[in-house]
Amino acid sequence: MMKNKKIVMIGPSINSKGGIASVVINYMDAGLFDKFLIEYLSTHVEGGRFIKLWVALSTGLNFVYLLLTGQVAFLHAHVARWNSFWRKSAFMLLCHLFRRPYIIHIHSGGFIAFYENDCNDFQRKLINFFLKHAAKVIVLTNEISRWALSVSHHNKVEVLANFIQQDVNSNKVKAREKGRVLFLGRFTEEKGIYDLLEVLPDLLVKIPEIKLILCGEGDSDSVNKKIASLGMKDHVELLGWVTGDDKLKELYSAQVFVLPSFVEGVPMGVLEAMQSGCPVVATTVGGIPDQIESGVQGILYEAGDQRALRVAMETVLTDVVLAERMGQQGMLTIKRKFSAAAVMPKLESIYKTLSM
């Protein structure tokens, strides 16, 4: 590490309910902040407009002070799409002006669509500029890697998977409840939650004990109305956002984890399910095919295909031997590809190179 200089990492508050916060916490738990001198600055918090504005201004001023006093070795910016990217772009611009290296770490599976559909020509040129001048662009999937290479025109793009910390209870046998289906995520159309609800009545015919557990937040009112219109009140339970032991309890008691998303990066929920030994039914979007090989750790289907979703869920819920085999394969895959031991050396190598 450059003498008296620190790595500045920026992203949402680690108390936020989202994927980036989970990734940063995993970095902390894996010892990254012990091996390197890192200062984490929150650029966004959940709450009212005043507190959000206050955090943005105070964090920005703090970063300017660190630059002016020569304390910044480089910046590691965790970005998603929309405002998440534009908030971090101010920090990247400051790095460019102060001639400090920066890493752009793209977490959103919808970043390409954001670039192509939600940005005007000027905004796309800005994104191209920041990507081109980044010391390293870290992405979660091969698809986004190919896109980033095409618009940045340099070879500083690296795929770095999300990982999950080893659960100390992962080797203990847990009793899975027959017909119990788990969903972890935000209650939005993008996450496919309405597709999941709409296949329940048909599944109920063959699996009368089916119970869907929805863990997350979002438009709960619309979800509840949909449940009522389908006559599924007795078969769906909304638990809200779950963490810690409550989340582990749900992961270990579910017979199948379902994520019918239309847009994803490398979802942490899929990794958590695999680590717990729970088979996965999910779509072929984003980095999910990098996590799940259909027929091995779970079953994949094309987003929006409700019939395929129903068949996949029915297959896992009715074939106990298959489900158990998929769960075992999921746990093995986590150890091999998505553990701290598999992922962290790559990030540490990037840090060491930029710290020279």
pLDDT at residue number 115: 98
pLDDT at residue number 356: 81
Within a 10 A sphere around the Cβ of 299, how many other Cβ atoms? Answer: 23
Residue 174: pLDDT band (50, 70, 90) is low
Higher per-residue pLDDT: 313 or 171? 313
> Whole-angstrom distance between the N-terminal and C-terminal Cα of the chain?
6
217, two tokens: 């937040």
Kindly state the average pLDDT of the residues 154-179.
Answer: 79
Could you give the C-alpha distances from 243 to 17, 87, 167, 215, 290, in angstroms and in order?
A: 10, 27, 14, 10, 25
pLDDT above 80 (res 70): yes
pLDDT at residue number 1: 56
Kindly state the average pLDDT of the residues 266-275.
Answer: 94
Instruction: Please check whether residue 288 is in contact with residue 270, taking contact to mean a CB–CB distance below 8 angstroms.
Output: yes
Which residues, other chains included, contact 43 with Cβ-Cβ below 8 Å and sequence gap of 6+? 10, 11, 12, 55, 56, 59, 87, 88, 91
Residue 265: pLDDT band (50, 70, 90) is confident
Kindly state the average pLDDT of the residues 188-197.
Answer: 97
Within a 10 A sphere around the Cβ of 208, how many other Cβ atoms? Answer: 9
Residue 2: pLDDT band (50, 70, 90) is low
Residue 3: pLDDT band (50, 70, 90) is low
pLDDT above 60 (res 206): yes
Q: 208-254: per-residue pLDDT in tens?
A: 999 999 999 999 999 999 999 999 999 999 999 998 899 999 999 99
Place of tokens 């990734």: 23
pLDDT above 60 (res 166): yes
The whole-angstrom separation of Cα 256 and Cα 89 is: 40
pLDDT at residue number 183: 98
The whole-angstrom separation of Cα 128 and Cα 148 is: 9
Q: 83-142: per-residue pLDDT in tens?
A: 999 999 999 999 999 999 999 999 998 999 999 999 999 999 999 999 999 999 999 998
Residue 26: pLDDT band (50, 70, 90) is very high
Instruction: Please check whether residue 301 is in contact with residue 316, taking contact to mean a CB–CB distance below 8 angstroms.
Output: no
Candidates 87, 310, 317, 210; CA nearest to 326 is: 317
Domains identified in the chain and CATH numbers: 6-163+339-355 (3.40.50.2000), 180-337 (3.40.50.2000)
pLDDT at residue number 280: 98
Q: 27-63: per-residue pLDDT in tens?
A: 999 999 999 999 999 999 988 999 999 999 999 999 9
pLDDT above 60 (res 298): yes
